[in-house]
Amino acid sequence: MSTPRILFNSGIGPAEQIKNVQSGSTGITVPPQAEWISLPVGQNLKDHPMFTITVNTGSNFTAYNTSSVMSVPSARDRRLFAQGSGVLTQGGHRLQFWTSNVGSDGVTRFYQGSCSPSADGGITMKLYLTHGATSSGVLGINDAGSTTLVSDPWLQTTEDKDAVTKFLDNLLSDLSKSFSVKGVSTASDILNDMTSGDHWVGTAKMGLDDGRENGTSVVDTNTKVYGTENLYIVDASIHPDLPTGNTQAIVMVAAEAAVARILAQDNTQGSASTSVSSMAAIPSSTASAVITGGSIGESAATPSLVVVTTTKTVMVTQTHTVTVMPTL
C-alpha cells in the first residue's frame, strides 16, 4: 500500500498523482516534470472482499473462552504450547469450507468460509470472494502525502456483484433449513456490511506490457521498474492478481525468484563497501533502491525508501524483499 506513495514521491506514476505531491504540504521535492516516468502506479488495486454473518445454531454447546486463555494461560496450556500443542497453537476457526460458481461472464469465482464459535450456541462465519473477481480499484495520494483510495476494489463489476449475491443467497437458503442468521434476511443485508480482507495487491503490477507504452505493468519480470536502471520492487504490489489465500506465500515465492534474477543482472561487479542513506527514487545507475510496503493512510513523513550500495547483497523477509546492488 505504500509502494505507490514512494513512487509518486519520486516522480514515477500518473502525472495527476505526482502533481498532488508537488502541490501538497509535505515539502517533498519531486524531480523536474521532464524526468517523470509515466507508469500506471496505483492502478489495478485488488483485495478480497469479506462478509461476516453470525449463525444461531440452536445448540447448547459452550464456546471456548479464548480471551482468558490468551491473557492468563494455565500451567497446562503453557506446557502444551512449549510442546507445539494445545489451544495456544491453534486458530479460532474450527471449520473451513470452499465453493464456487460461474458468473454471467463465464468466469468461475471461488469462495471460502471460515467458521468459529463466537458465543454459546453461536458461530461466526467470515466469507470471502477469494479468486476470480474482475473488479479492481485505484490507489492515489492526497496533498498531505497519505495514500488514499481513489476507487474501491470490491464488487465494482456487475458480474462480481451478481455472482457474490448468488453465493450468499444459496448459503442463506441452506442455513435457514436448520439455523437462523442474526440480523440478516437477504444477500443485500450482508453486502451492505462488506469489509476489506486486507490482502492488497496489484498497485505496481508485474508484466511484459510496459506501462510507458500504454501497457498495464509497472515492473518487468525481473522486478525492475520500467524506465529505471536499478529500481526493483518485490512485495505484494507487483502481483497482477489475488491469490486464493492470503499474500504472504506469494510474496515469499516472488522474493526467492527475484533474488536470483536481480543478482544475475550484475554478476561481473567486484566488491564494494556498504552504505545506507535516504533519498528519492530516480532513474540512476549509482545505487539500488529498496522499496518496502506499508499501510493505507501512512504519513509521508515516515522514512520509506532506502538506498544501499554494496556488492550482491539481498535481504529477504516474510513480507517483502530488500534488494541491493553494487555502485557502478
Please tell me which residue in 48, 199, 239, 320 is annotated as part of the active site: 199
The helix (H) or strand (E) run that includes residue 73 is none
Structure-block grid coordinates of residue 251: 510474496
> Which residue's entry shows cell 474450527?
94
How far is it, in rounded angstroms, from Cα 217 to Cα 220? Answer: 7
Give the residue from 168, 198, 162, 180 showing the smallest Cα distance to 1: 198
Catalytic-residue membership of 239: no
- Where would I find the H helices in the chain? 3-9, 15-22, 66-71, 75-82, 158-175, 187-191, 248-264
Name the 3-class secondary structure at 3: helix
DSSP β-ladder status, 288-291 and 231-232: parallel
Distance CA 232, CA 199 (A): 21
What residues are paired with 50 via a beta bridge? 128, 195
Kindly state the greatest CA–CA separation across the chain: 71
Find where cell 463465464 sits: 106
SS3 316: strand
Question: Which are the catalytic amino acids?
Answer: 199
